């Protein structure tokens, strides 16, 4: 079976990364490569899983996408009707 899903675990400290990584390992994920320090205060570890990940009903997404459309018509959203210099 091949690896089908990838994810990234982010943390602010090595102990926090170990805690979050332990949680992922209990869900069946495997470390993929080594941890990487993005900034002095951000550590990241890639994880992978063969098959389907098991997501519990209480888990929430890490982030949400917000699309702001207030005050714009459809034409303005595509850049039409903007005043020229």
Count how many domains the chain has: 1
The whole-angstrom separation of Cα 61 and Cα 55 is: 10
**Domain residue limits at 41:** 3-77
What pLDDT score was predicted for residue 80? 58
Whether 28 maps to a domain, the answer reads yes
In a domain, 35, yes or no: yes
Establish if 84 belongs to a structural domain. no
Distances (CA, A) of 17 to 2, 5, 9, 22, 49: 26, 20, 7, 8, 18
In a domain, 51, yes or no: yes
**Which phi and psi angles does 46 have, rounded to 5°?**
-80, 140
Entry pTM? 0.56
> pLDDT-based confidence at 1, cuts 50/70/90?
low
Listed as own residue / partner, the contacts of 22-27 with beta carbons closer than 8 Å and 24 or more positions apart are 27/53, 27/54
Residue 82 lies in a domain: no
Q: Residue 10: inside a domain, yes or no?
A: yes
* Average pLDDT of the chain to the nearest whole number: 78
């Amino acid at each position: 079976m091949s690896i089908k899903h990838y994810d990234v675990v982010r943390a602010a400290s090595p102990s926090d990364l170990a805690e979050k990584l332990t949680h992922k390992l209990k869900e069946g994920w495997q470390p993929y490569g080594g941890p990487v320090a993005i900034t002095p205060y951000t550590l990241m570890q890639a994880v992978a899983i063969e098959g389907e990940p098991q997501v519990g009903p209480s888990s929430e997404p890490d982030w949400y996408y917000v699309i702001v459309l207030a005050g714009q018509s459809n034409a303005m959203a595509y850049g039409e009707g903007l005043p020229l210099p």
